[in-house]
Structure 1
Amino acid sequence: MNPDEPNTREYFRTKARLSVQYGPYTSQAAEAMMLDEQVWNIQSDIEHRAKTIMDEGAHPESLKPFIDVARWLDFKLDLILHRLRTQEIKKLLPHQVFSFDISGSGVSLEKGPGLEPEKELILAITLPDAPGRPVYARGQVLRTQKDALEKHPCAAVQFSQISETDRERLIHYTFRQQRRELARRAGEADR
């Protein structure tokens, strides 16, 4: 997405209680966010290619034990790397709160330290379908207010930088949430 181009796309907003780590925008935090994004994109590409090979059955049966060991080692390596990255991210993004709602363009957060209007942040949002792979975004606090029920203070954060891959993950999440809510309402109406 071109940063000079205005974002005219509208996004569906859904209620969501997601864990969000955040911290002030710094060049070090931005570099860590970019590095993680590159690592995740490479890993996703490798996993997609490996799945294609496995699904097509283009490998001899004699390689199956080797492939199983390689997949186990890949899983273990992912755990180790995740642990190391989590420790670094906690230093750069020291605060954790929960969201009230989310969309492809921003998030409403519980009020926490440093969430003041016009403050630039780096966010790591944990989605339930991939808790080890956060959605990273740079955002700006637009305003602080009470939530929709007027019970809790919250901060509205608009994303100013987010990869298209992560934005699409958020959009898919909001659509899944919307379908669940519609199914729940339909189930209540049938009673």
Structure 2
Amino acid sequence: MMDRVPKENREFVRTDLSLHATLSAIDPEELSRKRCLKLILSGCRTGNGPGRSEDSDENSGDFPKYGFSDLAEFLMQMNDKLDRILAILEGESTAENLIQVVKTIDVSGSGVGMVVNRSLEIGQLVEVSLHIPDFAMGVFRTRGKVMRSRKRGGDGTYEIGIKFLDVGEEERERLISFIFRQQRKNIRKKKNYL
């Protein structure tokens, strides 16, 4: 009798991977604002930004059609950092939104598993930053939704699963490419130890 291999229900490849990560809770209004900004900038990337129509002459825009995504991502990251700095300078507490990431467990093209220092509600919206060299400023940033959360042993930590929201095809391809490279490295390491 043959052993049956359980069917994999994942849409994207997943690998065990420990990365430096940051996580912060966001509310639906913040998610909507960031989606809108990303949509505007992605329209600029394709040459169909504000005030442009599909019929516009390709050479008449103010924005370059190619090579804009990294710059746009960089500007969005700088904007978020400036917002956090201003909040600190104005005495607003950002500590309640920050979640300490103890470690990442695994990463896929659709989400990330991590261990954090506090419980999160299923459905909680979060902003995720993973330090991956393939992305602008070496950081992959996106919004996500907590899909699972469970308490681990007695150390007061929680294992959570986050589903990525608003990840473009280009970003997802970079992320998957990075994951495959890491898997190949892990296979080579295992072969060298055998």
TM-score w.r.t. structure 2 length?
Answer: 0.58
CA shift for structure 1 position 23:
1.0
- Segments of 5+ residues of structure 1 without an aligned counterpart are 1-7, 51-74
Q: Does 1:157 align with 2:158?
A: no
CA shift for structure 1 position 181:
0.6
Distance 1:183 1:110 in 2: 27
Cα 1:78–1:145 shift into 2, 3 Å? closer
2:81 is aligned to 86
2:12 is aligned to 11
Cα 1:162–1:79 shift into 2, 3 Å? closer
> How do 1:40-119 residues align onto structure 2 when only pairs under 5 Å count?
42=44, 46=64, 48=66, 82-88=77-83, 94-97=98-101, 98-113=103-118, 115-116=120-121, 118-119=122-123
Cα 1:114–1:41 shift into 2, 3 Å? farther
CA shift for structure 1 position 161:
4.5
Number of aligned residues: 155
TM-score w.r.t. structure 1 length?
Answer: 0.59
Distance 2:75 2:104 in 1: 28
CA shift for structure 1 position 173:
1.8
**CA contact 1:21–1:123 (8 Å) conserved in 2:** yes
- Segments of 5+ residues of structure 2 without an aligned counterpart are 1-8, 48-63, 88-93
One-letter amino acid matched to 1:99: T
> How do 1:16-27 residues align onto structure 2 when only pairs under 5 Å count?
16-18=17-19, 19-27=21-29
Distance 2:191 2:43 in 1: 38
SS at match of 1:162: coil
Distance 2:98 2:156 in 1: 25
Q: Does 1:124 align with 2:151?
A: no
Q: 1:29 aligns with which of 22, 28, 31?
A: 31
Distance 2:146 2:11 in 1: 18
Q: Which has the higher contact order (CA 8 A, sep 6+)?
A: 1
Query: What percentage of aligned pairs have identical amino acids?
Result: 20
SS at match of 1:165: helix
Structure 1 segments (4+ residues) deviating >4 Å = 40-50, 77-82, 89-93
